[in-house]
Amino acid sequence: MANNPSARKRIRQTATRTQRNRMRRSRVRTFLRKVEAAIEGADKQTAEAAFREAQPELHRAVSKGVLHGNTVDRKLSRLSARIKALSTTA
């Protein structure tokens, strides 16, 4: 256990950072769920709007170190392809 002031401070900082990262990750997942729901509903306009809202949130997670850049790029690419595919079926 922490026996000196600097170790106690590190524990406090880690707890704060963990809580912040959890909130950010949860927020990202919420935005992704909105896009997924619009795609499942085959509503291209809603899906595009949700996608435009999700993009900055995902990039913000990368800049804050919550998610890896390649992970976000892959997710955005796959979502974009699925949204584009809606026009051919609808």
User: For 1-51, how does the pLDDT look when each residue is reduced to its tens digit (9 = 90+)?
Assistant: 778 999 999 999 999 999 999 999 999 999 999 999 999 999 899 999 999
Under 8 Å between Cβ of 50 and 35:
yes
pTM given for the model: 0.84
* Domain boundaries along the sequence of the chain: 5-89
The confidence score (pLDDT) of residue 12 equals 95
C-alpha 35, offset from chain centre: 11
Domain 5-89 class, CATH top level = mainly alpha
For residue 40, the SS3 value is helix
Given a cut of 70, whether residue 90 has pLDDT beyond it is: no
- Angstrom distance (rounded) from CA 59 to CA 53: 11
Burial class (CB in 10 A: 0-12, 13-18, 19+), 2: exposed
